[in-house]
Amino acid sequence: MARLVAGIDSSTQSTKVELREIDSGAVVAVGRAAHPSTTPPRSEQDPESWWSALTTALADVADHLGDVIAVSVAGQQHGLVMLDAEGAAIRPAKLWNDTESSAEADALVADLGADGWARACGSVPGAAFTISKLAWVAANEPEAMKRLDRIMLPHDYLTWRLSGAHVTDRGDASGTGWWSPSIGDYDVDLLDRAAPNLDDSVLPTVLGPSDSAGVVTAAGLGFGRDVLVGPGTGDNMAGALGLGLGPGDLAISVGTSGTAYSVSATPTSDASGAVAGFADATGNFLPLVCTLNATKVTDAIGRLLGAGFAELDELALAAEPGAGGLTLVPYFDGERTPNRPDATGALSGLRSDVSREQFARAGFEGVACGLLDGVDALVDVGADCGGRMFLLGGGAKSMAYQRVFADLAERQLIVPEAEEVVATGACVQAAVIAGEGSFSEIALRWGLGTGTTVDPADVDSATIRLSYAGQRS
């Protein structure tokens, strides 16, 4: 009988389930179900919809669930889940891209100072952080606070539904704004600044990288008996696991939003707020930059040009690097890095001979420049980004994104073979929980971190990036 692990990726848009053989890492089955759509500034989802999507996705792989010995959940970071004493959601969960709490974030930073926040929890809270969302609820919905019995992150909620355990992990906890990667514990003073007099017993227990949350207790899912449940983690931390990322390696993820992160052996802090000083899921650290606008930008341009995915790629690749002087600043729905929640996009350098090809190219270059600015910020806080460079996420399937990132970064990039690195990372964690080896041993055995390489072409990347920097500021 095959022995399998299950990795769950609960993202903003959907839930994916991936089943892998423990010995070889081969994918056996995949299931998927969509989440309700949501758009900033108020971006919220009912946590029950995530559970519904998970049960649907598990039904897609039902024939194999009896062979699963461990399962783990990776989820979208920062979302605020609030439950009452009966375990019901008090209100919809505010998601990472909800920007209603920008004023509360500004007030929190003014209260302690950017340096104070960076020293205390490694990050300066913006609207994306859980602590800002909690402050918004405390200020605007006091009745909800009176009913509050448990606080969870999105991945914690699904772990709780699977196992009944109110737990989290250090990676996802480090994105709340009230857990410190440097001391490895909650900072109740920070919590009190968002919600005065809130008892910290509402917070989940933080499990270690190889600790189990228990076993699956939820009935009717199709799992066998005594299936171990991992602590889970945030989607970016799971992505690092799914790539077999080691110290010095750099990952750039191009999805609806964009992220750039690397693995560090020591904690980082950045008073500018550009870099979030997260922990990872293995015991190391994961300094990370996040932008709100990535493939949503090129999707919008494709819609305006009446071009689908493939045609938009062709248009962008047909234009010369630099898009004929056309520069796009892609802050379509506000921006997180830099912290401009009310910003909009900007297009400069328009001439009467502008072409569809140039407009398409400018979109890809604008997104890439924004994320490569993030890589520069990682280096500025001491992160080693000189190892392998990976491009992942839905945008990694685009030949135009591959070409533009390689050229503007002036380095080789790797497009990983695994299409769902977050679900793969959850599988890796499940295998570790099952006692099948260390994180690095499993990554090596499964052949993670391999893929197609793209070498840079000789283009004037400095001029393109300088033009973007001039328009961005």
Give the H/E segment covering residue 367.
Answer: helix 356-380
Q: Which residue has the tokens 């490694």?
A: 122
Tell me which of 187, 235, 280, 407 is the catalytic residue.
235
- Within 126-252, where are the H helices? 130-140, 142-147, 154-163, 170-173, 188-194, 235-243
What is the C-alpha separation between 318 and 238, in angstroms, rounded?
36
Phi-psi region for residue 131, left (φ > 0), alpha (ψ -120 to 50) or beta? alpha
Question: SS3 helix, strand, coil % of the chain, rounded to 5?
Answer: 40, 20, 40
Measured in Å, how far apart are the chain's first and last C-alpha atoms?
Answer: 60
**235 carries an active-site annotation:** yes
Q: Which residue has the tokens 């990036």?
A: 465
Cβ 401 vs Cβ 391: under 8 Å: yes
What is the C-alpha separation between 430 and 421, in angstroms, rounded?
14
What is the C-alpha separation between 221 and 163, in angstroms, rounded?
12
Give the H/E segment covering residue 107.
Answer: helix 102-112
What is the C-alpha separation between 31 and 33, in angstroms, rounded?
7
Cβ 246 vs Cβ 194: under 8 Å: no
Question: 385: which 2 tokens?
Answer: 């980004």
Question: 25: which 2 tokens?
Answer: 């890492």
The full DSSP string for 224-283 is -TT-EE---EEHHHHHHHHHT--BT-EEEEESSSEEEEEBBSS----TTSSSEEEE-SSS
Q: How far is CA 295 from CA 40, 189, 298, 300, in A?
A: 15, 38, 5, 8
What is the C-alpha separation between 340 and 378, in angstroms, rounded?
19
Q: Which residues are known catalytic residues? A: 235
